A and B are shown apart, each in its own frame.
Chain A
Amino acid sequence: MEILRVENIKKSFSGVSVLKNINLSIKSGELHAIVGENGAGKSTLMKIIAGELEPDSGKIYLNGKEVQFHSPLDAINSGIALIHQEFSLVPQLTVYENIFLGREISKSFLGIDFIDRKAMKKEAQNVLKTFGIENIPVNSKIKDLSVANKQLTEIAKALSTNSKILIMDEPTAALTLRETEKLFSILTNLKSNGVTIIFISHRLEEIFQIADSVTILRNGELIATKQINEVSMEEIVSMMIGKSMSNRFPPKPSKKIGDKFFEVRNISSDAFKGINFSLRRGEILGIAGLVGCGNTQVGESIYGLRKFDGEIYFEGKKINISKPTDAIENGIFLVPEDRHDLGLVLQLSVKENHSLPNLDLFSKLGFVSTSTEKKSVRDTIAYLNTKVSSINQIVENLSGGNQQKVVLGKWLVRSPKVLILDEPTRGIDVGAKFEIYKFIYEQSSKGVGIILISSELAEVLNLSDRILVMSEGRITGELDPQNATQEDILRLAVKGKES
């Protein structure tokens, strides 16, 4: 039975059409996945359904009746809740306070309404229990919870308002494999309780694991809605990008792998233990592992962002890295996992971000030479095919792929010797991914040693010349990508974890 239908929904922002006549039907009690590249209109459509945006035209029907939402509250009152990637929880408050935020249970005493914490705690526990999430401590403050538990709290908050339709925007993006499994079992449980779930994801594997049906959006148009057992992953990908994507990866270049020039000897910190590896010129060394295995911290430590014990040898000499400048001086650069946090100053321009670590190259006696600077920025964006309206465009307004190219580009100027790429294609659409893969190959062909830290198994397998797998802060094995499979990586990635 149909629970939600949208008809002829159109939406544009400042003249740019973002949704072009969308017609979508969602069945009651199903888990409906929405996929599409960045900019396809997924989030806009979800925001319209959840009352956060109003469509320019078109209708929404809930249980066959037309509804009009002017605010998220309207949608919540109709039983539709949207869970964002960025949580709407108050970090300083507890789980139960967040669940009842704005709807606090109170008891009257002498005509004054006092907050009834006992009732709120009990009710919160009930909600959590009903949906099998009971191991979240209701008294904990949100800021002390893991990302996974924050997400579950957010779900509990939505369910406590009797939501019948739960919309989730990339809920697994920040979860570990086990947390993802847990979330999926809870979602299955919710489904059996009659909750309808709309699920945006970039990870096609998990859609095949959990979804009942899938809708593909591209450039603001609805391309198709299919039952999950009617389509293959290749079909979905080609519908997403509009062409057959037999080649998600560029052809491997023929390159010479040179001498061992970089070596990490027995480095340890609170996030990893006894890490040893070496890197050759032109080699792409994959360091795979699940989220939280410590590979990110290894990369950040080598770049001088974290304290560690142990030794690093570079071009035959022991080098001391205690701050980023030490790494930069040696030609060792990091492209961080979270580009908004560590890679970019969002309110500055493309030019200013590009120049940030390179001002010494562009300035004389402390004064920036704008002509040298502009030439460098222009050359770099041309080489990387970065799409910007001008070099003065604020990077916050760029798409994820173009932002990442700005981060990559700033190091190109300094002729890198070692590039540490941490999840270089996270949150980037398929087209931009391809270009970044090409860039990685080009750099390695030039003799740059590349450390590729990634939890995307296909990426590590296809690009790397050699793969190390980490689990619980230790290297649990080395694989030759020529004759290794995703399962081989996964087996090593969960080694040392219970179950």
Chain B
Amino acid sequence: MTLSNGFIRRYGVIFGLAGIIIFFAIESPNYFFTPSNFILISKQSSINILLALGEMFVILTAGIDLSVGAIAGLVGAVAAGTIVATGNLFLGLIAGIGIGIAFGLINGVIVAFAKVPAFIATLATMSAITGITLIYTQGEPIWNLPSSFDFIGQGNLADIPFSIILMALAFVAAWIVLEKTKYGRHIYAVGGNIKASRAAGIKISAVLVSVYAISGLLSAIGGIVLASRLGTAEPTAGSGYELDAIAAVVLGGTSLFGGEGWVVGTIIGGYIIAVLNNGMTIMNISAYYQEVVKGLVILLAVMLTSFGKKYWNE
């Protein structure tokens, strides 16, 4: 039996992460390869992974969500603003998460019913949401958040950072939904062949709208963790996060054409990005070069996957 391209997609990325870890471990055994640094890496990757998990639901349906960073930024601001205005933490969280889901639903409705290509639809909402955040905050950061809010991004539960627990919960939930439920199967099917899915009686619009809503929800959670970690809601805090999220999903082996992907891969993709950032910082590589290296690694990983596929298929 020959190795399938599913195998390459699935396990290639694990070897990639292992290789990067070994490289940094050799370069910096005392700082990089320590338990406390791994907790730090997990903490650093948690926001991106939360966003990437949502992004993955969308990409599995052959869509894309460029608005995740913008939603995270707006949610952070709305949650912080509400908490400061009302003094009620839960009200703030609910408002933030509600806003995230609402914009996710708007994305979904535009894609599913107005039939606007996902790239354009979410590019437009990304721009609009960024603007709304700036209007809402008047371009100023929101300060004076209560310490109870700090717990989400900075606190520990039984010595484990709470943001890592949130990330782990989101991972488990995503894994169960995608691997074990009827709805998860429908997501893969719609991404794989939308016409055959419709002919099989699947409600296409419901699937499409819901994946964008899930993306909105996870972006919202990511945005709250981000604001809490910073201790302030910066109006532009979320910008650029969409690209890291997409990169994590693609590194993880999810096909941009939809229908193929593995939740574990997305987590590993997120970790590859975080390990690179962390390791290069420890090695004192300038932030400018870091971006270049990150880009090259993503390119290399995707190229290896496609070469590997070709090789094994022949």
Least Cβ–Cβ distance between B196 and chain A, in angstroms: 5
Asked if B182 CB lies within 8 Å of chain A CBs, one says yes
Residues on the B chain within 8 Å of A325, using CB? 201, 203
Q: 19 A-B residue contacts at CB 8 Å?
A: A14-B2, A324-B198, A324-B201, A325-B203, A341-B193, A341-B196, A343-B196, A345-B259, A346-B193, A356-B189, A356-B196, A356-B197, A356-B202, A359-B185, A366-B182, A367-B181, A367-B182, A368-B180, A394-B4
B188 touches A359 (CB 8 A): no
Q: Which of B174-196 contact A (CB under 8 A)?
A: 180-183, 185-186, 188-189, 192-193, 195-196
Q: From DSSP, what is the main secondary structure of chain A's interface residues? A: mixed
- Do B180 and A345 have beta carbons less than 8 Å apart? no
In the complex, are the beta carbons of A324 and B196 less than 8 A apart?
no
Known: A348-B188, A348-B192, A359-B186. 13 other contacts (CB 8 A): A305-B199, A345-B192, A346-B193, A348-B189, A352-B189, A356-B189, A356-B197, A356-B202, A357-B200, A359-B182, A363-B182, A366-B181, A410-B200
- A345 and B193 form a contact (CB under 8 A): yes
Determine which residue in A303, A323, A328, A359 has the highest number of CB atoms from chain B within 10 A of its CB, and name it: A359
Given A324-B198, A336-B199, A341-B196, A368 and B185 contact (CB-CB distance below 8 Å): yes
Whether A342 contacts B195 by the Cβ 8 Å rule is yes
Pairwise interchain contact A347-B199, C-beta atoms closer than 8 A: no
Contact with A along B186-228 (1 / 0, CB 8 A): 1011001101111111110000000000000000000000000
Q: How many residue pairs, one in A and one in B, have C-beta atoms under 8 Å apart? A: 75
Output the least CB separation between A483 and chain B (Å).
Answer: 37
Contact A347 B181 (CB under 8 A): no
* Contact between chains at A345 and B199 (CB < 8 Å): no
- Does chain A have a CB within 8 A of B234? no
CB-defined interface of A348-368 with B at 8 Å, one 1/0 digit per residue?
A: 100010011101100100111
Query: Chain B CB within 10 Å — which of A334, A356, A360, A410 has the most?
Result: A356
B244 on interface, CB distance cutoff 8 Å? no
Contact: A342 with B199, CB < 8 Å? yes
A336 CB contacts on chain B under 8 angstroms: 199
A14, A334, A346: which contacts B192 (Cβ < 8 A)?
A346
Closest 9 CB pairs of A and B: A345-B192, A357-B200, A359-B182, A345-B193, A356-B200, A325-B201, A328-B201, A363-B182, A342-B199
Q: Are B199 and A366 in contact (CB under 8 A)?
A: no
- Interface size class of chain A, counting residues whose CB lies under 8 Å from the partner chain: 20 to 34
CB within 8 A of A324: which of B1, B183, B185, B200?
Answer: B200
Q: Which A residues are within 8 Å of any B CB, using their own CB?
A: 13-14, 303, 305, 323-325, 328, 334, 336, 341-348, 352, 355-357, 359-360, 363, 366-368, 389, 394, 410
* Cα distance, A263 to B199, chains bound together (Å): 22
Which of A348, A366, A389 has the most CB atoms of chain B within a 10 A radius of its CB? A348
Chain A nearest CB, measured from B241 CB (Å): 29
Mark out the residues of chain B between 71 and 85 whose CB falls within 8 Å of any chain A CB in the assembled complex. Answer: none
Question: Is B260 an interface residue, CB under 8 A from the partner?
Answer: yes
Closest residue to B6 on the A side, CB-wise? A394
Provide the bound-state CA to CA distance between A76 and B173, in Å: 55
Tell me if A345 and B2 are in contact (CB < 8 A). Answer: no
Question: Least Cβ distance of A260 to chain B in Å?
Answer: 26
Nearest-neighbour CB distance to chain A for B113, whole angstroms, equals 15
Q: In the complex the two chains form, what is the Cα distance from A352 to B192 in whole Å?
A: 11
A345 engages B182 (CB within 8 Å): no
Residues in chain A near residue B198, CB distance under 8 A: 305, 324
Q: Which B residues are CB-close (under 8 A) to A394?
A: 4, 6
Q: How far is the CA of A13 from the CA of B312 in the complex (A)?
A: 12
Whether B189 and A345, one on each chain, are in contact in the complex, defined by CB atoms closer than 8 angstroms, is: yes
| Chain B residues with CB under 8 A of A324 | 198-201
Q: B residues within 8 A CB of A334?
A: 199
